[in-house]
A and B are shown apart, each in its own frame.
Chain A
Amino acid sequence: MRYANRVAILLVVLALFASACTADSGDSSGEAEGAATTEVAGTEPSGSEFAGQTLLVWTKVAATPAIDEVYAELTSEFEDEWDVTVTTESKSFDDLKATVILALGQSDGPDVAVVPQGRPDMGKAVEAGLLLDLTSFSNERGWPDAFGASTLTKTMFSSDGVEFGTGNVYGISPEVEFLGWFYNKTIFSDVGVEPPATIDDLEALLATLAAAGETPLNAGNVEGFPFLHTFMSAANADMSVEYVNDLIYGRNDKSFDTDATQTAAARLVDWVDAGYFTPAFEGIAYGDSIGQFASGNGAIMQTGTWIIPDLDPATFGFFLTPAIGGGIGPQPGATSEPFAVRADTSVPDLAKEYIDWMMSERAAELLAEAGALTTRTVDAPGQSALAAEAQAAWGLITSSDQLGHYLDWASPTMFDTMVAESQRMIAGDITADEFVKALDADYQAFLSGQ
């Protein structure tokens, strides 16, 4: 073969590789269209000091179009109130995760942006000096009292970004998401069972449902995270808030190898062995499993509140993970990805006002009416029964100071480790004890590198 041919083929190979390396980030940006303003809320003076200024905002595409419309309306009201122009670019979560931190380092980057939570994203942005410290503004506007101190700690970092859960406040979101148990009321009444008050009740309930020929736990775990959510809920409920806080924030040399994690893992293995999950759930995609549940298959689905828009509120109910002795222990959850302000923005005060506007009572009312769960608890008569039930659960979590954590926030590699090891545990390749030890190995490696 001629040399030229070989070179040509090598070039093809290189081209293939280059195309493999180029992430195709579908940009779903779109400008928010101003809706007609009917009512103006807020107590701030109008005819403002910000008149004529412009604000660039990067948001995440909302869970439903109705919620997107609420943000558009709130933005439009904000523009009228302060006589400013807001340009909104709405992005998918994956798009945001890949680009927002880099954009915050640009001089023409967004003034306000939704930033993914946790050490690898928000923590890194703080470390790089890209985010504005909102602590004094937050105190001035009463965020800690209104939204709960434990809600805010999830967006707190030391100014060097090293310590998590302490120091300065860098963001907040008007929406919340947390884990819990959705149940099919029709199946519950057919079998004659009630939501459980203790974890023992829950186990008895699963056994009763199975004996009645129902699939107790609807699930799909191809992606690995759905089963983790069940594990996290069970493990959190047996820990104290102090312990789970220390664990996630990397304080006081905690361990993943505890009675709570051991018990939770062993319990889940028992449930797998007992056949409580949807048959072959290891091979079912999460999205498909939501569809199954919504169409009446399976008595209970343990997952996050983001599936509420997919469920018929007349058919489905919600309960939190019960603690061993009854009541509730810590529940994994957080606000949605928070709004934060770019450190070098030319309009810092306007940017902060924008976030506070989204945290207002009126914003919470509109969001709740549109089906969102809100950080600020408000009366929303138009809220669906199911959303109202979940919103009440959020109120209980914050008022009893039982906001726990997604355990994969503990280290940058924990999600990856948890997914791989939990799937091996489900398959019976490793024991519950080995699973917990593997999580702790990841965690200790992270702590020693800190």
Chain B
Amino acid sequence: MGSSHAGQRSWTPYAFIGVPIAVYTIFAFGPFAATLVLSLFEWDGLTSASFTGLSNYIDLAGDPIFRNALNNNLYFTIFYSVLPITLALFLAALIADTARLKVVRVYRVLLFVPYVMPMIVLGVVWRWIYSPLSGPVNAVITATGRDPFPILGDSTTALPAIGLVGSWVMYGFAMILFVAGIQKIDIALYDAARVDGASRFEQFRYVTLPGLRNEITVALVVTLATALRVFDLVFVMTRGGPGRSTDVVAFFIFRTAFNNREVGRGAAAAGVLVAIIFIASIVVLRFRASET
């Protein structure tokens, strides 16, 4: 972060900060505040709204469809956060010595491709990969003499199948962070560790891992938030089905507010989602702070 010299006060930095804050207020905080206000009303989006206090939130607490969607989001945190970060850390450890090689740059670009592609496109591609008609996964299944399997149409496989796409995308993102982070670690630390007789695991445990603390925090916050607000993949791949086995909160909000025109209820669900993302982020940051 920038350095500050005690005693010198200039308003210039505030002016620079002011612009993004103004933009944020208009495009993020404003709509967010409006959403919170709406969540206290019963409103169809057209006719006059009636104030209902917290009743939208109380209804949601007792709504099994909403709770199911929320559970699925929590399930996704394993696929979007835990799995890719663990895998990326493991691979980062493997390439720790070589992270400064030029070839890593190419590797970095390749890893980042899924992350920059629109989720809608990835959803269409993976829907094909899982398709019983011509998809490669089912080609393997049928090649072994078994019947084609409806991966996205079976309630036991649909959720993990979408989750794995999330893992694939998020693993690339985490890997980028970690590879960049490793390059910042002083190579002398590894040399010193080796001189002290540290094994590869010990080098990872005592040099790489502490050196990547900031990157792990960022990866956790971003991937958790992504897992909790999944929409596109579910919409393209399963529409929340079969049954409600892949329903998620963001899709619940979309259906409630725009299809069923229960805007207040949808806004309340959005409020709950934001609160959960906030709490998850604060927990991660607190944990990080307590480590330092």
Contact = CB atoms under 8 A, between A and B. Distances in A.
Interface string A12-48: 1111111011010000000000000000000000000
Contacts of A419: 239, 241
B259 A16 contact: no
A223 B236 CA distance: 9
A151 to B, nearest CB: 25
A415 B155 CA distance: 19
B153 A282 contact: yes
A280 B278 CA distance: 40
A225 B253 CA distance: 20
Question: Residue among B132, B221, B260 with the most chain A CB within 10 A?
Answer: B132
Given A102-B45, A125-B46, A283 B154 contact: yes
A30 B3 CA distance: 53
B289 A120 contact: no
Nearest to B267: A21
A413 interface: yes
A5 B132 contact: no
A292 B148 CA distance: 15
Given A9-B281, A18-B28, A125-B46, A282 B274 contact: no
B76 interface: no
A306 B5 CA distance: 70
A-side binding surface: helix, strand, loop or mixed? helix
Interface stretch (A73-81, A340-348, A424-432): A424-432
A309 interface: no
A5 B127 CA distance: 38
A15 B226 CA distance: 11
B35 interface: yes
Contact of A9 (B44, B221, B231): B221
Contact of B260 (A21, A120, A292, A426): A120
Interface in B129-184: 130-133, 138, 147-155
A127 B46 CA distance: 9
A435 to B, nearest CB: 11
Interface string B21-48: 0001001110110010000000011110
Contact of B148 (A101, A279, A416): A279
Contact of B132 (A10, A283, A412, A420): A283
User: Which of A2, A21, A98, A413 counts the most B-chain CB atoms under 10 A from its CB?
Assistant: A21
B105 interface: no
B242 A21 contact: no
Contacts of A282: 150, 153-154, 242
Given A285-B127, A416-B255, A280 B138 contact: yes
A280 B148 contact: yes
A224 B150 CA distance: 13
Contacts of B241: 222-224, 419-420, 423
A9 B147 CA distance: 48
A130 interface: yes
A445 interface: no
Given A1-B289, A283-B152, A427-B154, A105 B132 contact: no
B81 interface: no
Given A223-B239, A283-B154, A5 B1 contact: yes
A174 B118 CA distance: 37
A1 B243 contact: no
A281 interface: yes
Q: Could you say which of A10, A20, A124, A421 has the most chain B C-beta atoms within 10 Å of its C-beta?
A: A20
A351 B218 CA distance: 56
A6 B47 CA distance: 41
B93 interface: no
B258 interface: yes
A267 to B, nearest CB: 20
Contacts of B214: 1
Interface in A125-173: 125, 127-128, 130
A224 B231 contact: no
Contacts of B194: none
Contact of A429 (B35, B155, B285, B292): B155
Contacts of A120: 259-261
Nearest to B273: A17
Contact of A427 (B132, B240, B243, B259): B243
A11 interface: yes
A424 B258 contact: no
B244 interface: yes
Nearest to B127: A285
B278 A18 contact: no
A418 B192 CA distance: 65
A222 B162 CA distance: 13
A128 B46 contact: yes
B270 interface: yes
A429 B156 CA distance: 12
A208 to B, nearest CB: 22
Given A1-B292, A14-B32, A16-B226, A279 B147 contact: yes
Interface string A275-308: 0000111111100100010000000000000000
B289 A6 contact: yes
Contacts of B89: none
Nearest to B30: A18
Interface string B224-264: 01100101000001111111100100100011001111000
A97 B155 CA distance: 30
B277 interface: yes
B278 A13 contact: yes
B225 A4 contact: no
Contacts of B254: 23
A21 B255 CA distance: 13
16 contacts: A1-B289, A17-B274, A21-B31, A23-B254, A101-B46, A102-B45, A222-B239, A279-B132, A282-B242, A285-B127, A285-B131, A288-B131, A292-B133, A413-B260, A423-B241, A427-B243
Interface of B: 1, 24, 27-29, 31-32, 35, 44-47, 127, 130-133, 138, 147-155, 214, 217-218, 221-222, 225-226, 229, 231, 237-244, 247, 250, 254-255, 258-261, 270, 273-274, 277-278, 281-282, 285, 288-289, 292
Given A14-B24, A283-B153, A285-B127, 20 more contacts: A1-B285, A10-B285, A13-B277, A13-B278, A13-B281, A14-B32, A15-B24, A16-B222, A16-B226, A18-B27, A21-B31, A21-B35, A120-B259, A222-B241, A224-B242, A284-B132, A284-B153, A415-B259, A419-B239, A423-B155
A-B pairs, top 7 by smallest CB distance, nearest first, are A283-B150, A282-B153, A280-B132, A283-B153, A423-B242, A282-B150, A280-B150
